[in-house]
Structure 1
Amino acid sequence: MELSSLLQPADIIAELVATTKSDVLVELASQVAERHPGLERDELVRVLQERERLGSTGIGDGIAVPHGKLKQARELVLAFGRSRSGVEFSALDGRPVRLFFMLIAPQDAVGIHLKMLARISRLLKDPGIRRRLMDAADAVAIHQIIQEQDSRQ
């Protein structure tokens, strides 16, 4: 499954307003709840915060992949956010996070959930892609970059 099949420009926040870890989770969850009726923002935030308590999803290099499973989710749901100034997210390397992929999976989705996390990780491992995502003009341009990379993987 390709990232760009789950992620549309409307799922992308090109300029996050949030300046704290908690606010980033709320802002991304709000975007998902707005786009996916049946998924409630507060429940999304609870699941994401629960996962963060186990250990930060800030994986380093300015990247975080907050994720969780939700009984109400019928399919994988993906959102993306970018913070040009960066957000303190307790990342493994201690640096601020600028690129956020949020993944919500159905409660019983194990394999596909892990495959999607691996796909996100492969995409963002390339410093050139991270730079292009940071430099992209808007949500449509961000989506195009992700779509291009999907076709190469």
Structure 2
Amino acid sequence: MKLGDFLSKELIIPELSARTKKAVLAELVAAVHSVQPELDETHVLDVLLEREALGTTGIGDGIAIPHGKIAELESVLVVVGRSAEGVEFDALDFEPCKIFFLVLAPEKVAGVHLRVLAHISRMLKEEDFRQQFLSASEDELKALLFEA
């Protein structure tokens, strides 16, 4: 499995402008809307906020992996964002998040959704990958993600 199979260059945000949890989610969703304008941004954001209400997707080490299922989607989509400053995201370790991977999946495709989440988790466990992610230029970041 390659992350690039679920990603496009338009879905990589090298520097998020958002400074709050809800604003980060909205910025990530706006990127989705740019490639799939038929999706209702408000609905997608509501799905993510409902998921966050169940428990944070800020998993620690500066990482958040918000995710949700959207009936209107045909295939899994991944949006990647980076925040040099970090954003308070209610992370499990109480530290700001700098690395964001949004995973959206069709409601009927559980297997692929879980494999994508597992693949992202494995990548992000590697300290070298996280450091490269945070220090890469925009072009280097895109290359890193499409190779992953």
Aligned positions, number: 148
Give the corresponding residue for 2:67: 67
After the TM superposition, which segments of 4 or more aligned residues of structure 1 sit over 2 Å from their partners? none
For the aligned residues, what is the CA RMSD?
Answer: 0.9
Deviations 1:68-106 (A, max 9, x none): 001111110110000000000011111100000001000
Give the corresponding residue for 1:142: 141
**Aligned-pair CA distance for 1:41:** 1.1
**Structure 2: gaps (5+ residues):** none
Task: Give the TM-score normalised by structure 2.
Answer: 0.96
Task: Give the TM-score normalised by structure 1.
Answer: 0.93
In 2, the alpha carbon distance for the partners of 1:79 and 1:55 equals 20
In 1, the alpha carbon distance for the partners of 2:40 and 2:3 equals 22
Give the corresponding residue for 1:24: 24
Residues 42-61 of structure 1 mapped to structure 2, 5 A cutoff: 42-61=42-61
**Aligned-pair CA distance for 1:37:** 2.8
Among the aligned pairs, what percent are the same residue?
43
Give the corresponding residue for 1:12: 12
Give the corresponding residue for 2:35: 35
In 1, the alpha carbon distance for the partners of 2:97 and 2:131 equals 13
